[in-house]
Amino acid sequence: MSSADSAPLLEVRDLGKRFGGLTALSGVSFSVAAGETVGIMGANGAGKTTLFSLVAGNARPSAGTIAFAGGRIDGLSPDRICRLGIARTFQIVKPFPGLTVLENLRTAAMFGRAGLHDRREADAAAMAVLEEVGMAALASAPAATLTLAGQKRLEVARAIATGARLVLLDEVMAGLTATEVGQMLDTLRRVRDARGLTLIVIEHVMQALMKLCARIVVLHHGERIAEGTPEAIGNDPRVLSVYFGTAA
Amino acid sequence: MSAVPVPAPATRAWAVAGLLGAAALAALPFFANPYLVATGLTLLMWLALTQSWCLLSKLTGYVSLGHVVFYGLGAYLVVVTWQSWPLPLAIAAAGALAALFAALIGLPVLRVRGPYFVILTFGIAELVKYSILAAEAASGTASRILFGAPDLIVIYFAMFALAAAATLLLVVVGRSRFGHGLRSLRENEEAAETLGVPVVRYKLLAFVLSAAIPGMVGAVMALRSTYFVVGQVFDPMISVTAIAMALLGGGDDTRGPILGTLFLFIVSEVLWIRAPLAYMLILGAVLAGFVLVAPGGILGFLDGRRARGAGGA
Amino acid sequence: MSSIVDTLLSGQLLFAALVTGSLYALVALGLNLVYGTLRMLNVAHGDVVMLGAYGAYWAFSVGGISPIVAAPAVAALGALAGLAVHRGLVRRLFATAGAGSTRLEGNSLLLFFGLSIILQNAAALAFTPNARGLAYWTEVYHLGNVAMTGNRIAALVIAGATCIAVAALLGRSLLGLSMRAVIEKREAATIVGIDVDRVQAISFALGFATAALAGALVSMLEQISPFTGFPFTIAAFIVIILGGLGNLFAGLGAALLLGALETYGVALTSANMRSVLLYGAFVAALLLFPKGLFARRARAA
């Protein structure tokens, strides 16, 4: 492997975030190589979504640095970061309710890294993504009329349509039935492999997280307490003590 | 590969109707009496004001209740430079002044969201009005009388050009990538920004673009009155009327403002001379009523009927 | 320079500032209750003041009843109007709020603006647009070298006492506690067993009553017209934005500050500056607090 391949795509160093008196993140460091799928695990309030907000630019770090493809991105605006190649989904979905599904993706294709200024090109690229995620039939439906599962899928499709290299998925399985989880898992794997995406996944649905990710980072009270393969994490004493009390 | 869905062919019909209407308005001064021409002038004025309001408020969702401030600034510039600047220069400068004002206040003002933006824009328009009134009172300028204004026909065609420009601007922006970015930030600003839309820049640009034409409209309308009153050119009811027309029409493209303007204009022409207070009362009722009962306006109502007629799906 | 200092130290102006401030505090109190309940910017609030003023005016010119005596009756009528509006309008608003609620919130201001226009022009049709004044209790009393007319003293006392009474009600009584709870977090209030609908109706009634009362007091002090109400709406919003929603004592302070700004500002410049100062303060308050009122409340969690 050449040295260019081994340079991390995303590098987070000593990242910290304070909201007034509350410390949401502190001293978090990890890196993600191109093509990897890394999971972020932790109880509610562990700082997972805050981490995504910092990487995507929705908030500024209080401390630490974030580098993407070799360049510093902490402090940049979210739209700038998106054009550089990072897209995220929101835990509470934020569709464009008055626009159709296709129009939702058109925004991503026009303004994301793909940067397709021409409407027809953008729409064609958007349709391609809708095909990949199995939503092509809903292209003309107003986003507001979708079910929760549909809106979650839309959220993912939109992030992908930006043409991003790194996609941050924030609890995309939450609220889905077992069947829907399976479908989403299939879709994510398919799209990831077809487009060579790098994924960072926040999930509470453990089986999905374990199946999707090669490596998992565990956060607790804003700090990284463990990192490793799903098996290693499952046996890590620190993780077990946090989730189950003292090891059995 | 699924085909990209195509928009309804009804847009052709609208375009044809619009062009016919424009042709009729262009021909009006050649066969109608001065009273009708003056009426047509007023209609063109409202078209220009409502279209330019929609450019900001319908596309971005930032509802401005201070649209009149651009109109007033433009009118004031013409009056202040009366007989010392050539009129075409003054009118162009009026547009530039309004746009400059928007550019200066835009960044802090557009940070304010929702209903607060609405009352803030109202407050700014009133602040400008009262500031000019206080300045005029302090400098001892009681009133201004303007002599030597151009003919009605010249004014008419100037306004026609402005109305055409406002319509064209809304059409072009509405179909552009810029317009799509605006609509996206209207639907969800945080999501739009996260998807790459430069929301701060876009909002400001929409704000500035929406200011230029009202500035020139105010300038041209100043030529109509020989006796200039500051309070009149900054009258908040001008903002309210434009909003009512846009709300009545519905939608977020040019069809809405045209429909709404025509409709309300007919009502106003009937009532304004006989019963101005009753007219304003109806204006208020239109505003309140449509927000409560039919926020989609006429277009929303028509779209709803078409969807139900097609049997859904 | 010395004349500026003289102006600032003038007891006369201080009295005027207190009177104006107390009226603003009273109107803002009412708006606090209505807005806090409704969560929509009721820009028609000042028009209730206007209607109260006309009520007292007619009581005086037709029945010879002093505005001070008429004030409680006007306030009671205001309360009834508040209940009626709550029943008729607000319930309907919350019913439609489910569907497309964000659109309604954004447009709700237009709704109330439309209502304000209707009220103002209906009043103009009924009472003519011309300004009217009544002269009542204009005897001058002296405290040191400060000259105060009886009507102003009465207005200050009544407005002040009402503000304190309502603040006490909100701060000390169980009803007041439930009203504050509903203003703070409606959903949570339901969960703890508060009859939100009843509390909202009472808030509305009280909000309208205080506005009408303020109007009755205003009728003694200035000329009134159908368009007199709007500046009070603006002033009330400034007070709430600066003082914070639901925070009555801060609101009182903000109201007095605004009264002082207006009074001293006009004295130092000219009468023409009154509206400039008012709207200037309004724009500044909104720009300084772009998230409006909610960001200013202490965040619970």
Q: Which residues pair with A25 in a beta bridge?
A: A17
Range of the domain at C75: 2-296
Q: Is residue A119 within 8 angstroms of chain B, CB to CB? A: yes
Check: CB of residue B192 under 8 Å from CB of residue B247: no
Q: Is residue C87 within 8 angstroms of chain B, CB to CB? A: no
Question: CA of C275: which chain B residue's CA is closest?
Answer: B130
Torsion angle of alpha carbons B110, B116, B117, B123, nearest 10°?
-110
DSSP C90: I
Count CB atoms within 10 A of the CB of residue B190: 13
Torsion angle of alpha carbons A94, A96, A100, A106, nearest 10°?
-90
Shortest CA gap B156–chain C (Å)? 31
**Chain B contacts of C273, Cβ < 8 Å?**
134
- Tokens 């508060």 label which residue? C194
Does residue A115 come out as left (phi exceeding 0), alpha (psi in the -120 to 50 range) or beta? left
pLDDT at residue number B59: 95
What's the pTM? 0.89
Euclidean distance between CA atoms B166 and B53, whole angstroms: 10
**Chain B contacts of C105, Cβ < 8 Å?**
114-115
Q: Is residue C108 within 8 angstroms of chain B, CB to CB? A: yes
Shortest CA gap B49–chain A (Å)? 25
Token code pair at residue C140: 């001058």
| Cα–Cα separations (whole angstroms), residue A48 to A138, A214, A229, A243, C235 | 31, 18, 18, 16, 44
Token code pair at residue B25: 């308005």
Structural domains of chain A ordered from first start:
3-244 (3.40.50.300)
Q: Is residue C92 within 8 angstroms of chain B, CB to CB? A: yes
- Rounded to the nearest angstrom, the gap between the alpha carbon of residue C146 and the centroid of all alpha carbons in its chain is 27
**Cβ within 8 Å of A, B 147-176:** 175
Shortest CA gap B287–chain A (Å)? 22
Shortest CA gap A245–chain B (Å)? 38
| Residues C259-294: b if buried by 16+ CB within 10 A, e if exposed | bbbbbbbbbeeeebbbbbbbbbbbbebbbebbebbe
Question: CA of A134: which chain B residue's CA is closest?
Answer: B2
**Cβ within 8 Å of B, C 180-219:** none
Tell me the domain boundaries of chain B: 32-234
Q: Is residue B312 within 8 angstroms of chain A, CB to CB? A: no
Among C90, C96, C107, most B C-beta atoms within 10 A, so best to mutate, is C107
Q: What value, to the nearest 5°, has the Cα angle with vertex A109 and ends A152 and B63? A: 80
Q: Do B281 and C117 touch (CB under 8 A)?
A: yes
Of C41, C96, C276, the CB nearest to B119: C41
CB neighbours of B200 closer than 8 A, spacing ≥ 6?
A: A77, B107, B110
Of B304-308, C151-155, C167-171, where does mean pLDDT reach its minimum? B304-308
Question: CA of C280: which chain B residue's CA is closest?
Answer: B127
Check: CB of residue A27 under 8 Å from CB of residue A223: yes
Q: Do B187 and A96 touch (CB under 8 A)?
A: yes
Q: Do A162 and B193 touch (CB under 8 A)?
A: no
Could you list the pLDDT tens digit for every one of the 313 residues in chain B? 455 655 555 678 888 888 888 998 888 888 888 888 999 999 999 999 999 999 999 999 999 999 999 999 999 999 999 888 998 999 999 999 999 999 999 999 999 988 889 989 999 999 999 999 999 988 877 667 787 888 899 999 999 999 999 999 999 999 999 999 999 999 999 999 999 999 999 999 999 999 999 999 999 999 988 788 899 999 999 999 999 999 889 888 889 999 999 988 888 777 766 777 888 888 888 888 888 788 888 888 887 776 665 544 4
**Chain B contacts of A87, Cβ < 8 Å?**
194-195
Find, among B168, B145, B5, B149, the residue nearest to B87 by Cα: B149
Q: Which residues pair with C85 in a beta bridge?
A: none
ipTM over 0.95: no
Find, among C186, C178, C207, the residue nearest to C82 by Cα: C207
Q: Which chains touch B (3 or more CB pairs under 8 A)?
A: A, C
| Cα–Cα separations (whole angstroms), residue C278 to A114, B281, C217, C221, C266 | 50, 26, 20, 19, 10
Euclidean distance between CA atoms B165 and B182, whole angstroms: 20
Count CB atoms within 10 A of the CB of residue A207: 13
Q: Which residues pair with A218 in a beta bridge?
A: A41, A226
Token code pair at residue B189: 């600003």
Pairing of strands B227-228, A198-202: unpaired
Q: Is residue B144 within 8 angstroms of chain A, CB to CB? A: no
Looking at the domain assignment, is residue C301 inside a domain?
no
SS (H, E, C) C23-40: HHHHHHHHHHHHHHHHCC
Token code pair at residue A169: 């998925």
Euclidean distance between CA atoms B277 and C117, whole angstroms: 10
Check: CB of residue C189 under 8 Å from CB of residue C199: yes
Domain count, chain C: 1
Which pLDDT tens digit goes with each residue over C87-138?
A: 887 777 666 554 444 555 567 788 888 889 999 999 998 888 888 888 888 8
- Rounded to the nearest angstrom, the gap between the alpha carbon of residue C165 and the centroid of all alpha carbons in its chain is 15
Q: What is the DSSP string of B60-74?
A: H----S-THHHHHHH
Looking at the domain assignment, is residue C225 inside a domain?
yes
- Tokens 């903002």 label which residue? B239
**Chain C contacts of B295, Cβ < 8 Å?**
100, 103-104, 107
**Cβ within 8 Å of B, C 50-79:** none
